[in-house]
């Protein structure tokens, strides 16, 4: 590795003294002229009072800011500059796959033929959109090794809910053991949405402990799987970034018990074109297009969480399904009486689906596989070098290669110096690097989950490693310096306790003013 | 020759070098944990890679064979509403600092997004007249599902949820999917088939100590204004149930905000606030509630709160807060499984509301009231056609009924032939409304097009199709 010097003196985040727009308001100022109805219409209709019952009229205007167009532009431009993003720097947030979000995808999705298409327009008017969705479903089925796909779920968690509901319907209609099979098995290392989604679908969650290697504990799984098992929800590679090599046995245990196998695709970026959940024995899978397929994360969404299933489960997918007839005409089919119904309005986050289509079409089969290979290479490069830095280690399955991410523990550093994973995370910000995911998975003490992704260059990876090195050096020589971080960000550490305390809790300008008046 | 792509900066030479530094011989070694029996031993059956130009061309083609509704000749609403989007909205919300960031887990470096979401929460709170609005749900349909589940958590032991008989059909389906596994029974309340208004006798009859919540829609799915909100407020609360109001966000420029008629939980669709209809997604689920800790602690979704820096001099700042409600902390006991939401659509809404301001919102709601009422009135003058076929006062959407010969389907086909697209066909969904369609008229539908619509409808109905 090339030692690159990193310095917290060379970088600092933009900072503007930018109050709430409410505080800039001057009555009478405006930023936009809205269109008014034609004179003929206004004459014809006369006073609106006759149209709206007295009791239903709004008294006065809502208290929104009154500012000029330039003030709006400045306000949000300044705020955007106080927001770290993939466009600004390395964003190794584990489990989130913060890869480059290609500009071409943004451009194509805003074409009026997509952006101004109404979901209830006659299907003859939407053939291009339906073809895109139909093709994308088939591509995702091929990539995951599944037989049918729905694009309706809005995010990963909604994909989980959808998938689990499909499993439940299968047990209701096919095994006819829905009542009895009321338990969902979930590893302790799983993401929080897995148990939350299973519980939303009415399941009791049975936690499967991890083995000493950080993998699913087969003995524990055998003990838990049985006549009450609806299924197992698994992330593979798992959340420590290691491939569950015993997947054949895991699938065997679950299937023998009569349960189904669910694949959380948040970590799919490791395996495109390499191995497919459908071939490993999974029955249901969700993907996060806002991770693997490069659709932007938008500061927390919109995402997209398509679900793929094996053919025995296809009839339970949400409606409508997109179908193509012999003449190549695309249509919407609602006639699936055993469908779980709808999980979301219309056909899902269509704009995101256009971006994912564009991404796959650009990379092609060669590129998807290469993307996964490089993602894995980069994660191993980071794992190797960072785990050799004083204070850090790579817990569990040390000899097994990592897949697309690695989980580093700062436990030793904490013992030696008092510097925690959170302190490391905050200090990284001073170098213009986003922090890894911290304290997840729960099975790793002082966890720093690092996912570099394939779109980072070697220089960026080396810079990241150097930053870890610099922080370690500081931790062992001047821990107070690390503790005080971050210093180069728009704001220093924030008081989270105060934010949540009932006496100071302020969730809106309205509450702010009410609290002030008290 | 080495296969290359602009999004993959690691060349084979770099790869070889990197592998050397980590003591691995070949790339393949990194995949050794994957059992060979499962390895894909062929290429994925997908298209090959394409240059940016080819991608643009393919997507351009797919977009161009759709019929875009941007000419104001499509009269569809039902949950996705075409409205004018001021140019500064996508220019600002589309800044890549917003677009390419993750959820703001590191507040020090994410103040831009956090403050914008706090402003979103604040502006929506003002429009709705309710203290707390979360930083978004997937859409209004799922917001309704979550609201019903929330009422049952707040009113422990109660398991029924009542909805208006005229509820948005799509929302009703999603509501059923969300509530069925929680053993919540959904029941519809009768309505007056002439006025559309909720039948308060039936509401009273159905209420009981097992009803957790009652939902009202305003304006309703069928476009009419539910004017009995004060009575409903009274009845619902005296039965000890919660009132959930689903409102149209732009209508609140002129209509009474739900916070003033006792709504405990408020939901709305935020797509009209600056997002395109985009074939039905992304949408934006607006979700708010009164500032009552019993409610707020049961809320789904993320909340941004105001705070200050720990050290002096204290500077004002924003963080994600009350997260012990959420899945990453509470896991199976969380109030919801939602993680990623629709943050960028919320940013868009914040920019939109900042742009149109209080008077703009009021004027826009007026413009829509004028145009939709005008359209309804002139359509009603066509022989054999009545509009609004249900309700006395309408806003933006209205039911048109065809009673002399033409079916809604004939009308639909006739309009398409004339390069117009009629409203959503309701025939069969509301049998008492006969052959009918739900039309949507916004500021994008100009006088001329409305008149063309009326002429065309007249011709089609006269022709008896
Ligand atoms: C492993 C895992 N599963 C599920 C999810 C949930 O995905 P989403 O945020 O799209 O709902 C995440 C995202 O953070 C994840 O990392």
Does residue A281 have its Cβ closer than 6 Å to ligand 1?
no
Tally the C-alpha atoms within 13 A of residue B411's C-alpha that lie toward its C-beta: 31
Q: How far apart are CA B148 and CA B78, in angstroms?
A: 21
Chain A, residues 292-321, CB within 8 A of chain B, namely: 294, 296-303, 318
Find the A164 Cα to ligand 1 centroid distance in Å.
15
Looking at the fold, whether A62 and A114 belong to one and the same domain comes out as: no
Looking at the fold, whether A300 and A201 belong to one and the same domain comes out as: yes
Confidence band for B465, pLDDT divided at 50, 70 and 90: very low
Residue B246 pairs in a beta bridge with: B217, B267
The three-state DSSP-derived secondary structure of A39-94 is HHHHHHHCCHHHCCCHHHECCCCCCCCCCCHHHHHHHHHHHHHCCCCCCCCCCCEC
Q: Could you check whether B69-83+357-461 and B88-353 share the same CATH topology?
A: no
- Taking alpha carbons only, the member of B142, B102, B179, B164 closest to residue B286 is B142
Q: B321 and A505: CB-CB below 8 Å?
A: yes
Looking at the fold, whether A177 and A273 belong to one and the same domain comes out as: yes
Pairing of strands B397-402, B385-386: antiparallel
Interface contact A21, partner B, CB < 8 A? yes
- Taking alpha carbons only, the member of B342, B421, B391, B69 closest to residue B219 is B391
Q: Which two tokens stand for residue B322?
A: 């009350």
Query: Span B88-353: which CATH code?
Result: 3.40.640.10
- Please say whether the beta carbons of A58 and B255 come within 8 A: yes
- The dihedral through the CA atoms of A242, A246, A248, A249 has a sign that is negative
Q: How far apart are CA B138 and CA A241, in angstroms?
A: 29
- Please say whether the beta carbons of A404 and A372 come within 8 A: yes
Looking at the fold, whether A234 and A342 belong to one and the same domain comes out as: yes
Does residue B90 sit in helix, strand or coil?
helix
Indicate whether A353 belongs to any domain.
Answer: yes
Q: Which two tokens stand for residue B305?
A: 């709160």
Interface contact A40, partner B, CB < 8 A? yes
Does residue A278 have its Cβ closer than 6 Å to ligand 1?
no
Residue B97 CB contacts under 8 Å (≥ 6 apart), including other chains = A80, A81, A83, A84, A85, A87, A88, B112
Q: Which residue has the tokens 């990197």?
A: B18
Looking at the fold, whether A256 and A127 belong to one and the same domain comes out as: yes
Q: Which of A8-12, A414-418, B16-20, B335-339 has the lowest mean pLDDT?
A: A8-12
Q: Work out which ligand 1 atom sits closest to the CA atom of A291.
A: 10
Residue nearest to atom 10 of ligand 1 (CA): A156
Q: Work out which ligand 1 atom sits closest to the CA atom of B337.
A: 11
Question: CB-CB: which of B3, B127, B279 is closest to A129?
Answer: B279
Pairing of strands B436-440, B397-402: antiparallel
pLDDT in tens, chain A (518 residues): 555 578 888 889 999 999 999 999 999 999 999 999 999 999 999 999 889 999 999 999 999 999 999 999 999 999 999 999 999 999 999 999 999 999 999 999 999 999 999 999 999 999 999 999 999 999 999 999 999 999 999 999 999 999 999 999 999 999 999 899 999 999 999 999 999 999 999 999 999 999 999 999 999 999 999 999 999 999 999 999 999 999 999 999 999 999 999 999 999 999 999 999 999 999 999 999 999 999 999 999 999 999 999 999 999 999 999 999 999 999 999 999 999 999 999 999 999 999 999 999 999 999 999 999 999 999 999 999 999 999 999 999 988 999 999 999 999 999 999 999 999 999 999 999 999 999 999 899 999 999 999 999 999 999 999 999 999 999 999 999 999 999 999 999 999 999 999 999 999 999 999 888 76
* pLDDT computed for residue B329 by the predictor: 87
Q: How far is CA A170 from the centre of its chain?
A: 27
Does residue A394 sit in helix, strand or coil?
coil
Find the B111 Cα to ligand 1 centroid distance in Å.
23
Report how many domains make up chain A.
Answer: 2
Asked which of A37, A52, A68 is the last residue of a domain, the reply is A68
Q: B125 and A437: CB-CB below 8 Å?
A: no
Looking at the fold, whether A190 and A305 belong to one and the same domain comes out as: yes
Find the A411 Cα to ligand 1 centroid distance in Å.
25
Q: How far apart are CA A102 and CA B419, in angstroms?
A: 36
Query: What average pLDDT score do residues B319-333 get?
Result: 91
What ipTM describes this predicted complex? Answer: 0.97
Q: Which two tokens stand for residue B208?
A: 């009981």
User: How many beta carbons lie within 10 A of that of residue B278, not counting itself?
Assistant: 26
- Please say whether the beta carbons of A226 and A192 come within 8 A: no
Q: How far apart are CA A21 and CA B116, in angstroms?
A: 10
pLDDT tens digits, one per residue of B125-184: 999 999 999 999 999 999 999 999 999 999 999 999 999 999 999 999 999 999 999 999
Q: Which residue has the tokens 């003013």?
A: A513
Confidence band for B428, pLDDT divided at 50, 70 and 90: confident
- Please say whether the beta carbons of B289 and B266 come within 8 A: yes
Alpha-carbon gap: A489 to the closest alpha carbon of chain B (Å): 6
Interface contact A456, partner B, CB < 8 A? yes
- Please say whether the beta carbons of B165 and B189 come within 8 A: yes
Beta strands (DSSP E) in A268-358 are 284-287, 307-309, 321-324, 330-333
Which residues span the domain enclosing A25?
19-68
Residue B59 CB contacts under 8 Å (≥ 6 apart), including other chains = A108, A111, A354, A357, A358, A361
Nearest-CA residue of chain B relative to A196? B332
Q: How far apart are CA A34 and CA A513, in angstroms?
A: 29
The three-state DSSP-derived secondary structure of A414-445 is HHHHCCCHHHHHHHHHCCCCCCCEECCCCCCC
pLDDT tens digits, one per residue of B204-226: 999 999 999 999 999 999 999 99
Q: Which residue has the tokens 């436990």?
A: A411
Q: How far apart are CA A268 and CA A238, in angstroms?
A: 10
Cα dist from B294 to A498, B162, B264, B265, whole Å:
19, 21, 11, 12
Query: What average pLDDT score do residues B61-78 get?
Result: 97
Q: Which two tokens stand for residue A113?
A: 């033929």
Instruction: Please check the confidence at residue B371 and state whether its pLDDT lies above 60.
Output: yes
Looking at the fold, whether A44 and A119 belong to one and the same domain comes out as: no
- Give CA torsion, residues B448, B450, B455, B459, to 10 deg: 140
Cα dist from A346 to A16, A141, A302, A334, whole Å:
40, 21, 15, 12
Indicate whether A232 belongs to any domain.
Answer: yes
Instruction: Please spell the DSSP secondary structure of A174-232, one letter per residue.
Output: II--TTT--EEEEETTS-THHHHHHHHTTPEEEEEPB-TTSSB-HHHHHHH-STTEEEE
Looking at the fold, whether A157 and A34 belong to one and the same domain comes out as: no
Answer yes or no: pTM beyond 0.95: yes
* pLDDT computed for residue A8 by the predictor: 80
Q: In this structure, what CATH number is given to the domain that contains residue A328? A: 3.40.640.10
- Taking alpha carbons only, the member of A251, A284, A287, A283 closest to residue A268 is A287
Instruction: Please spell the DSSP secondary structure of B232-294, one letter per residue.
Output: HHHHHHHTTPEEEEEE-TGGGGTBPPGGGGT-SEEEEE-TTTT---GGG-S--EEEEE-S-HH
DSSP state of B311: S
Looking at the fold, whether A179 and A301 belong to one and the same domain comes out as: yes
Q: Work out which ligand 1 atom sits closest to the CA atom of A267.
A: 1
From chain A, pick out residues whose CB is under 8 angstroms from the CB of B76: 118, 120-121
Looking at the fold, whether A64 and A112 belong to one and the same domain comes out as: no
Q: A32 and B357: CB-CB below 8 Å?
A: yes
Looking at the fold, whether A348 and A209 belong to one and the same domain comes out as: yes
* pLDDT computed for residue A7 by the predictor: 82
Residue A399 CB contacts under 8 Å (≥ 6 apart), including other chains = none
Q: Which two tokens stand for residue A157?
A: 């968690």
Looking at the fold, whether A206 and A291 belong to one and the same domain comes out as: yes
Q: Which residue has the tokens 């933009």?
A: A14
Size of interface A-B (CB pairs under 8 A): 727
- Please say whether the beta carbons of B65 and A123 come within 8 A: no
Residue A207 pairs in a beta bridge with: A186
Q: How far apart are CA A470 and CA B97, in angstroms?
A: 27
Domain ranges in chain B?
Answer: 1-39, 69-83+357-461, 88-353
Q: Which residue has the tokens 């550093």?
A: A413
Residues in chain B: 465
Indicate whether A410 belongs to any domain.
Answer: no
- Taking alpha carbons only, the member of B73, B12, B79 closest to residue B220 is B79
- The dihedral through the CA atoms of A161, A166, A172, A178 has a sign that is negative
From chain B, pick out residues whose CB is under 8 angstroms from the CB of A294: 7
Query: Span B69-83+357-461: which CATH code?
Result: 3.90.1150.10
pLDDT tens digits, one per residue of B287-296: 999 999 999 9
- Please say whether the beta carbons of A393 and A384 come within 8 A: no
Alpha-carbon gap: A371 to the closest alpha carbon of chain B (Å): 7
DSSP state of B224: B
């Amino acid at each position: 590795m090339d030692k690159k010097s990193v310095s917290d003196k060379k970088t600092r985040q933009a900072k503007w003294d930018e109050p709430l727009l409410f505080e800039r308001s001057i009555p009478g100022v405006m930023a936009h002229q809205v269109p008014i109805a034609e004179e003929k219409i206004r004459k014809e209709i006369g006073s609106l009072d006759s149209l709206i019952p007295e009791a239903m009229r709004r008294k006065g205007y809502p208290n929104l800011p009154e500012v000029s167009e330039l003030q709006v532009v400045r306000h949000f431009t300044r705020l955007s500059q106080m927001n770290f993003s993939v466009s600004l720097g390395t964003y190794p947030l584990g489990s989130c796959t913060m890869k480059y979000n290609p500009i071409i995808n943004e451009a194509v999705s805003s074409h009026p033929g997509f952006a101004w298409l109404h979901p209830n327009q006659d299907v003859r008017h939407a053939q291009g959109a339906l073809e895109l969705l139909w093709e994308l479903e088939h591509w995702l089925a091929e990539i995951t090794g599944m037989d049918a796909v729905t694009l309706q779920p809005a995010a990963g968690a909604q994909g989980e809910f959808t998938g689990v509901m499909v499993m439940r319907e299968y047990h209701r209609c096919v095994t006819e053991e829905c009542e009895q099979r009321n338990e969902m098995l979930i590893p302790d290392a799983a993401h929080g949405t897995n148990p939350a989604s299973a519980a939303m679908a009415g399941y009791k969650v049975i936690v499967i402990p991890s083995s000493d290697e950080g993998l699913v504990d087969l003995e524990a799984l055998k003990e838990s799987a049985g006549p009450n098992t609806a299924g197992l929800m698994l992330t593979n590679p798992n959340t420590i970034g290691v491939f569950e090599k015993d997947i054949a046995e895991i699938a065997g245990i679950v299937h023998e018990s009569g349960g189904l196998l669910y694949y959380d695709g948040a970590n799919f970026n490791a395996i495109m074109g390499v191995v497919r959940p459908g071939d490993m024995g999974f029955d249901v899978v969700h993907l996060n297009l806002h991770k693997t397929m490069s659709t932007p994360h938008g500061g927390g969404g919109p995402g997209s969480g398509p679900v793929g299933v094996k053919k025995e489960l296809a009839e339970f997918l949400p409606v409508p399904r997109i179908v193509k007839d012999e003449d190549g005409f695309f249509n919407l089919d609602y006639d699936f009486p055993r469908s779980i119904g709808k999980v979301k309005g219309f056909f899902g986050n269509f704009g995101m689906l256009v971006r994912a289509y564009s991404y796959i079409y650009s990379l092609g089969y060669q590129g998807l596989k290469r993307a996964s290979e490089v993602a894995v290479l980069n994660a191993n490069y980071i794992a190797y070098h960072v785990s050799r830095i004083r204070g850090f280690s790579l817990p569990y399955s040390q000899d097994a290669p990592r897949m697309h991410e690695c989980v580093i523990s700062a436990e030793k550093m904490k013992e030696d110096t008092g510097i925690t994973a959170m302190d490391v995370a905050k200090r990284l910000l001073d170098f213009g690097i986003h922090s890894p995911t911290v304290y997840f998975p729960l099975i790793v003490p002082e966890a720093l989950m690092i996912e570099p992704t394939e779109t980072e260059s070697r220089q960026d990876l080396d810079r990241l490693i150097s930053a870890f090195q610099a922080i370690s050096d500081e931790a062992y020589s001047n821990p107070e310096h690390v503790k005080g971080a971050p210093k180069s960000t728009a704001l220093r550490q924030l008081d989270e306790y105060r934010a949540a305390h009932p006496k100071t809790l302020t969730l809106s300008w309205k509450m702010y003013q009410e609290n002030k008046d008290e | 020759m080495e296969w290359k792509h602009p999004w993959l900066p690691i060349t084979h030479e770099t790869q070889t070098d990197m592998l050397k530094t980590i003591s691995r011989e070949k790339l393949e070694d990194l995949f050794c944990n994957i059992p060979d029996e499962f390895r894909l031993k062929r290429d994925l059956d997908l298209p090959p890679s394409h240059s940016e130009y080819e991608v643009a061309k393919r997507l351009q083609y797919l977009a161009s064979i759709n019929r875009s509704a941007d000419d104001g000749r499509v009269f569809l609403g039902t949950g996705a509403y075409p409205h004018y989007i001021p140019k500064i909205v996508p220019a600002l919300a589309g800044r890549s600092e917003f677009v390419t960031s993750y959820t703001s887990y590191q507040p020090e470096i994410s103040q831009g997004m956090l403050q914008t979401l706090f402003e979103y929460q604040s502006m929506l709170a003002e429009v709705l007249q309710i203290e707390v609005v979360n930083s978004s749900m997937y859409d209004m349909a799922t917001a309704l599902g979550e609201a019903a589940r929330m009422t049952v958590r707040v009113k422990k032991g109660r398991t029924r949820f009542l909805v208006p008989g005229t509820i948005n059909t799509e929302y009703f389906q999603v509501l059923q999917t969300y509530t069925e596994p929680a053993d919540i029974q959904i029941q519809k309340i009768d309505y007056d088939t002439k006025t559309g208004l909720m039948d308060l006798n039936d509401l009273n009859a159905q209420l009981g100590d097992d009803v957790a919540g009652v939902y009202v829609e305003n304006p309703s799915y069928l476009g009419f204004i539910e004017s009995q909100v004060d009575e409903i407020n009274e009845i619902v609360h005296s039965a000890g149930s919660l009132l959930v109001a689903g409102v149209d966000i732009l209508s609140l420029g002129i209509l009474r905000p739900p916070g003033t008629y006792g709504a405990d939980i408020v939901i709305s669709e935020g797509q009209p606030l600056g997002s395109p209809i985009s074939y039905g997604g992304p949408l934006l689920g607006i979700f708010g509630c009164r500032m009552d800790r019993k409610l707020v602690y049961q809320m789904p979704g993320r909340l941004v709160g105001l705070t200050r820096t720990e050290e002096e001099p204290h500077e004002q700042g924003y963080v994600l807060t009350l997260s012990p409600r959420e899945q990453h902390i509470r896991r199976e006991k969380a109030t919801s499984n939602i993680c990623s939401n629709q943050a960028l659509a919320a940013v868009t809404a914040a920019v939109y509301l900042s742009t149109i301001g209080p008077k703009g919102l009021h004027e826009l709601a007026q413009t829509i009231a004028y145009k939709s009422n005008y359209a309804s009135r002139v359509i009603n003058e066509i022989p054999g056609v009545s509009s609004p076929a249900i309700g006395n006062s309408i806003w933006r959407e209205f039911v048109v009924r065809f009673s002399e010969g033409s079916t809604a389907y004939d009308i639909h086909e006739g309009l398409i032939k004339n390069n117009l697209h009629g409203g959503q066909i309701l025939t069969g969904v509301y049998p008492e409304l006969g052959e009918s369609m739900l039309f949507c008229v916004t500021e994008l539908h100009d006088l001329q097009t409305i008149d063309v619509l009326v002429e065309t409808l007249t011709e089609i109905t006269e022709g008896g199709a």
